[in-house]
Amino acid sequence: MLFSGVAQHFSKVEAIDSRLEMSGEIAGLLQGCKPSEARQLVYIMEGNVAPSHEGLDVGIGEKFAIRALAKTSGYTVHRVEADYKKSGDLGATAEALLAKKAQLSLSSSENTLSKVYASFLKIARMSGAGSQEAKIGVLSELLNGATPLEAKYLVRFCLGKLRLGVGDPSIIDALSMARHGDKTDKAVLERAFNLCSDLGEVSEVYLSGKDLSRFSAAPFKPIRPALAERLPNAKEIIEKLCSDEKDEGKTPIISRKCAVEAKYDGLRMQVHLKDGEVEIYSRKLEKMTHMFPEIVEAAAALPAKNAIFEGEALAYSAREKKYYSFQQTIQRKRKHGVEKMAEDFPLRLFAFDIMYLDSEDLTLTPYLERRKILEKLVRNNKAIVPSDLIYTDSPKKLDEYFQRALSEGLEGIIAKDLVQPYVAGARKFAWIKLKKSYGELADSVDAVIVGYYLGKGAREEFKFGGVLAAVRNDETGALETIAKIGGGFTEEEMSSLAEELEKIKTKEKPRGVISKLEPDFWVEPKIVITVAADEITLSPMHTAGSVGGTGYALRFPRMVSMRDDKSPADATTVREVISMFEMQRRKSAQ
């Protein structure tokens, strides 16, 4: 397939607002691809050359892309910079400059999708001295054979700013549409993706006609994490997890127990063992193996060759007899360095689930059975221990356990349905969290920063007065604003945020952001922060879940922490905000 054809489809996709139409357009593109090309195309649409857990990054700096563009177009660096300053989009500048050049000379050879992909991969693998020069060479060669429209997407891709507005859910719909004309295979595609976190691989396997229903988890392919729902109190949790039926008066009939686990405020880790080799993935599924030598050592000593299990890691100081939270763990790691940290504050991993053991995919095995397998696996290990739990069907016992957890400095509890499978990549009622309260809110909100304000008065020195934050509409994929946050930032956070935001500011409102407010600067939606608030209210100023001009908003919002372990795709959704709003109503009616 020629890349010029891909660029034409991209250009159409960019102009479409409806997600369904967008998927239809991509389906058409996929139909013209061989399965191996579909894999390459999917990575490119995701803005990468491999699934993100591979850690490959094309990463050409703006300055270098400008030089490559100057080299190809024959214009001076100065001229390219001037045009870029005007357009604010180096891709658009590339398109315009190459269009002028095209009038003078016809380009040499045509780029195929496979050639473009192979070049990007080459660029991503270049490192060390002289690599930037070599990257410029590869990009210039691609630009030489490119139409102006192709150039636009090549340049944007290299800068990590493809901006097609196509998320993984749209690609999944498109794959099914490419084969069946509708979304018939959506569920089976989603499951395969959740089990390997590699949509490129899923696309290739699927479009070569193989049966995805037998797709299995495998070591060194991170599983998209199971997530917890929320309910406001012990009674509702027991009713949800311990009953399948209701009596005539519609009261749930309690027929089984549930597990109630301690909720540790640490760092989520997915540990993989493959033929004795260990790999550790973060919640965002990035490799972080080298950061935790003590967990690697402990995992390698387990009585299994191949396994995937999950837990929450906390630093423990034997001297102080105290656990440290996620934030404290990270801060200490920065201060002490990896080795010293391992010595002074050894980590303990509280294992809470197992998804694979010695060639067996356990994701469809019920929780209770998985738990037994997990306990047997980590028995006798010092650093990896099973999470603490009780089994109960009594709201009173659940409540007592919750209160005890809080008094021990834990964050709350996570109750789990004994008969449910591991629901990879989804927030389902298989797990329900109950946390220490945040005002009237059942939980804090993880919001994406979409813009920021400049500081006034004392804030002036930080060039930072607060942020505009948004939640994710999971139906449309849009980011809808929910709060303007000025409070809760430490001075250190203010200056480091100001620095980071400065780097990602954009001239215009980013595509996919829906806002009535106009911050001093818009930014690429990349940074996620945890926000606490007194309650959720309705407001005409915000667009989250907006109906008839009124959206949901956070009242007295304040920053709690940076969430480096989350990407915008993991932000709180509008659906969750609405369910928290409903819970708040039920709470105040009690």
Smallest gap from residue 478 Cβ to ligand ATP (A): 19
Residue 576 interacting with ligand ATP (CB under 6 A): no
Tell me whether residue 16 or residue 291 sits nearer to ligand ATP (CB atom): 291
Question: By CB under 6 A, what part of segment 375-394 binds ligand ATP?
Answer: 387
Is position 340 annotated as part of the catalytic site? no
Task: Choose which of 66, 228, 447, 479 interacts with ligand ATP (CB under 6 A).
Answer: 228
272 versus 283: smaller Cβ distance to ligand ATP = 283
Which is nearer to ligand ATP, 32 or 412 (by Cβ)? 412
- Binding of ligand ATP by 264 (CB under 6 A): yes
Which of these, 84, 102, 85, 104, lies nearest to 93 by C-alpha position?
84
| 492/500 Cα distance (integer angstroms) | 12
Site for ligand ATP in 440-479 (CB under 6 A): 446
Exposed / middle / buried, residue 551 (Cβ in 10 Å: 0-12, 13-18, 19+): buried
Q: Which helix (H) or strand (E) holds 25?
A: helix 19-31
Q: Does 371 bind ligand ATP (CB under 6 A)?
A: no
Closest CA to 259 of 5, 431, 374: 431
- Scanning 75-83, 117-125, 259-267, 537-545 for contacts with ligand ATP by CB under 6 A, the matching segment is 259-267
Alpha-carbon span 69 to 84, nearest angstrom: 11
Residue 250, Ramachandran bin (φ over 0: left; ψ between -120 and 50: alpha; else beta): left
Q: Which of 71, 191, 433, 484 binds ligand ATP (CB under 6 A)?
A: 433
Instruction: Detail the DSSP E strand segments found in 282-426.
Output: 307-317, 322-324, 347-357, 360-361, 384-386, 389-392, 412-416
Q: Coil, strand or helix: which one is 526? A: coil
Handedness of CA 358, 363, 366, 371 (dihedral sign): positive
From the list 152, 221, 263, 435, the catalytic residue is 263
Which residue of the chain is nearest ligand ATP when measured via CB? Answer: 268
Distance CA 453, CA 455 (A): 6
Q: What is the dihedral of CA 452, 455, 461, 463, to 10 degrees?
A: 20
Selected binder of ligand ATP within 227, 304, 390, 454 (CB under 6 A): 227
Q: How many residues bind ligand ATP (CB under 6 A)?
A: 15
If the CB atoms of residues 261 and 399 are measured against ligand ATP, the closer one turns out to be 261
In this complex, which beta carbon is closest to ligand ATP, that of residue 49 or of residue 228? 228
Answer yes or no whether residue 263 interacts with ligand ATP by CB under 6 A: yes
Q: Which is nearer to ligand ATP, 164 or 228 (CB)?
A: 228
Can you give 171-199 as a three-state secondary structure string?
A: HHHHHHHHHHCCCCCHHHHHHHHHHHCCH
Asked whether position 312 contacts ligand ATP by CB under 6 A, the answer is yes
Which residues lie near ligand ATP (CB under 6 A)?
Answer: 227-228, 261-264, 268, 283, 312, 352, 387, 414, 433, 446, 570
- Residues marked as catalytic: 263
